[in-house]
Structure 1
Amino acid sequence: MEHTFYLDAHWDGGRNSTGTIEAGNLKQSISIPKEMDGPGVGTNPDEMLLGAAATCFLITYAAILERAAIKTDALALASEAIVDVTNNVFTFKQIHHRPTVTVFDASQIKKAEQLAFKAEQSCMISKAVARNVQITVEPTVQSGASVE
């Protein structure tokens, strides 16, 4: 079974212009980020790739934890992307995911940590960029009993 997704994009001019994208529920202004000498309006490809990788990882991790019957009280994610600029060539180099999970049962901490790495390997976006972008996962898993 295949799923098809569509995106419509419009651009207002040259390099430092702005545009819009629309894909299903995603409706957003776009431009080059200020960090790359653009206008910094709306989002940009770097944020969208990081967002795609992060949301894919987070949803995959939640599903894997559920299938493993690990009940969580909280699941959060902080992710960052590193883009290298050498000789005016922009290269998306790395993504770091730092999930934080609170599990109900302290005996499941180790398993929940292991499943974070499985989630990264199983995520569709991670697999799509695997040859070009280094992805790391640094999980923090704690039990609800240890949370103050």
Structure 2
Amino acid sequence: MVKHLFNSHIDWVGGRNSIGDLQAGALNEKISIPETMAGPGVGTNPDEMLLGAASTCYSITLAAMLERNEIPLEHLKVEGQGVVDVTKGIFTYEKITYHVFMKLAAGADESKAIKLAERAESSCMISRAIQGNIKLETIIKIEE
């Protein structure tokens, strides 16, 4: 059994509307509550980082699945959108939608690529971690 260890370090001084420093591997970023949630909007925030983690994991998983299935990929673009609901002061991350744009090499099996793109949603580690808590949707377009 192989286990990988990841670490983060946060320096935070003050209350809700303060600005902190996050260091996690190569990531070194200011953090705060976004302006849309009545915060200072400096750096990134947990909502963006969760969306970024999910989108990154999905993209890498899909690229690996296409490669393993010998489907030549010329270009992959994944645009993620996260929806956070606020009801009675309670913030709930409701949904992540992946808008997937794939350009395949001539002659590649498009239907198999689409099936893999759908399967990648439930195959990546982050998707499995949030499964049952956040709805996931994948919209796939094969580009010419």
* Length-normalised TM-score, structure 2: 0.96
What letter corresponds to residue 88 of structure 1 in structure 2?
G
State the Cα deviation string for residues 40-75 of structure 1 (Å, max 9, x = none).
000000000000000000000000000010001111
| C-alpha distance in structure 2 between counterparts of 1:112 and 1:138, whole Å | 13
* Length-normalised TM-score, structure 1: 0.94
SS across alignment from 1:138 = strand
Match of 1:70 in 2: 71
Residue 31 of structure 2 corresponds to residue 49 of structure 1 = no
Q: Aligned in 2, Cα 1:123/1:64: closer, same or farther, shift over 3 Å?
A: same
For residues 103-142 of structure 1, the aligned pairs below 5 Å read: 103-106=104-107, 108-142=109-143
| C-alpha distance in structure 1 between counterparts of 2:107 and 2:139, whole Å | 19
Structure 2: gaps of 5 or more residues: none
| C-alpha distance in structure 2 between counterparts of 1:8 and 1:80, whole Å | 27
What root-mean-square deviation, in Å, do the aligned CA atoms of Structure 1 and Structure 2 show?
A: 0.9
Match of 1:20 in 2: 21
| C-alpha distance in structure 1 between counterparts of 2:52 and 2:72, whole Å | 25
Range that drifts further, 13-22 or 97-106: 97-106
Is the contact between residue 74 and residue 103 of structure 2 (CA under 8 Å) also seen in structure 1?
Answer: yes
The offset of 1:106, in angstroms, is: 4.2
Structure 1: gaps of 5 or more residues: none
| C-alpha distance in structure 1 between counterparts of 2:83 and 2:14, whole Å | 28
Residue 12 of structure 2 corresponds to residue 7 of structure 1 = no
The offset of 1:131, in angstroms, is: 1.2
| C-alpha distance in structure 1 between counterparts of 2:74 and 2:25, whole Å | 31
SS across alignment from 2:109 = helix
SS across alignment from 1:93 = strand
The offset of 1:105, in angstroms, is: 3.2
Q: What percent of counterpart residues are identical?
A: 45
| C-alpha distance in structure 2 between counterparts of 1:119 and 1:105, whole Å | 22
SS across alignment from 1:110 = helix
Aligned residue-pair number: 143
Is the contact between residue 77 and residue 101 of structure 2 (CA under 8 Å) also seen in structure 1?
Answer: yes
What letter corresponds to residue 50 of structure 1 in structure 2?
L
